[in-house]
Structure 1
Amino acid sequence: MGTVLTEQEWRAREEAHTTRMRRWTEPHQRRRSRGEKHPVLDFLFTYYSHRPSHLERWQPGPGIVLSGAGARCFLQRRGYRAVPDGVALDDAEFGENRARAARSIRALLEATAGRAPRLSCFGLHEWAMVYRQPPGEVRHTQLPLRLGSSGTDEVVDSLEVRCGHYDAFRFFTDAARPRNTLAPARTTQIDLEQPGCLHANMDLFKWAYKLDPFVPSELLGDCFELAADIRVLDMRASPYDLAGFGYSPVAIETPHGRAEYARAQAEFARRAAPLRTRLIALCTRLLENGNRSVSRSDN
């Protein structure tokens, strides 16, 4: 049936995961209770739709049987069933809709993994989102622009904008869109996604939680932690002044800043690669398990 974990073993893993995720979830919930916004970290819980309570919740992933009386609490969640040695994920819950999502996720991740990282965008997507925008209409109105509106526009005018990530490009201002050397669309995402892109690597978190509850929480947590670290660079390299929140800028308007950004981008691409591989392997395993379940039901 799978690897059997004693109650002591799985509870230790559960506690470790919950403690790890509360580093981000608890401050977020305290800020929310006070009505405070955080221009860097809120993104992890607003743009991404996985609830903090679900992020904290541990789950074993496929091929694991949870033993002990306490494992019966998992039967209150959808996607689990009782087995002779305890409780495990129910392969029958991995239906055609989930299989279709897994095939799509795997295809995108495999295409991305097959390309060399491109490290020459320098985070200009955030600058393009405020390019020639009236001051009262910028995305983070509570934050000043480090170089002011005209200085920000000059940076965009002076550098090549080369963003291939559709979910960043769709927030470009109307004036910035023609300046992009690429024209990403949802339909071309699989053709343009590349492993040096900060947003493509942050999105590993999204692809992980899309597989919930069939994704091991340790993998989900690794993807979330990567996304959180990348988000900090993403905003430090933005045109906003984040000194009030304790973040120093990565001044991509200078050669030194662009070199710093590219080095960090390369490191995130290195960290993302094994996570992408693990997600591809998980999708393959889930699809194979699903196919076996269909074959058994047909017989």
Structure 2
Amino acid sequence: MQLPIQSLSTIYAEPWEAGAEPRDLAEVARAADRLGFCYIASCDHVAIPRRLAAAMGTTWYDPVATLAYLAAVTERVRLLSHVAVVGLRHPLATAKQYATLDHLSGGRLVLGVGAGHVAEEFAALGVDFAARGPVLDEAIDALKAALGPDEFPEFDGERFAFSGLGQRPRPVQTPRPPVWVGGSSPAAVRRAAVRGDGWLPQGDPRDQLPRQIARLHDLRERAGVTARVEIGAITEALYVGEPGWDVGRRTLSGKPDRLAESLREYAAMGVHQIQVRFRSRTRAELIEQMEAFASDVAPHLDG
């Protein structure tokens, strides 16, 4: 699940999140850890321009700092950057941050990466927004080298190059932490197919996912990539049970067996993991929803 509180976009944030505190974030993470959720995820934006502030908000926690904070209060749940705009930073700097996070968390990092979409952010950091796609392609390749087992990684690309420079601590995971590529554009699907260990679509409607997944597998096969790719999906907003308040017409709600039946459709499409979001009015209600999902819905999703 994507964590609440750490990003306050009007697209998905609940009103109560604006007044929440770090301890609320920690309690949600502890609940995810206790209840067996696969991962908790944090977004990435450096700065939001005024033209987008009304819709996106300006509250976007740094993903490395956030996930490191939550690594210290959890034990099992994986830590996903969804998604890190890695083209904004040199791959060695990114590798240093995320290798340290993997080391400190005992090997729980999943590095989700994406191209980014805020032009002003790139301009402020001196990065060419128009070239963000090719930059991300090369950054992924450089990160794979920098996060591998070699203390002195080497990479020689058009934009980034390094050799003879040691970095420790090394990641716990071998041969390196997984890299999942976010995005649903044709370029993002191609990138996930050719370079990713996983794909994180950005809210594709159900009826479009099968076509996207088929294209990803076709591109991967053409590129000669034989390793398994982890395919994800972001579900509709969920509410387990019959809500006594307006949860919106696009929210999937009702009895657990009904929710499970609906969510199993994702597996039939070839999806391996689903990212869920629960409608809630308070932190307590969110955790109650997580508990209800873990006990009454999740057990019916496998097999």
TM-score of Structure 1 vs Structure 2, range by shorter chain: under 0.3
The normalised TM-score by structure 2 is: 0.24
The normalised TM-score by structure 1 is: 0.24
Higher helix share: 1
Higher strand share: 2
Q: Larger RCO: Structure 1 or Structure 2 (Cα < 8 Å, ≥ 6 residues apart)?
A: 1
In our comparison, the structure showing a higher alpha carbon Rg is 1
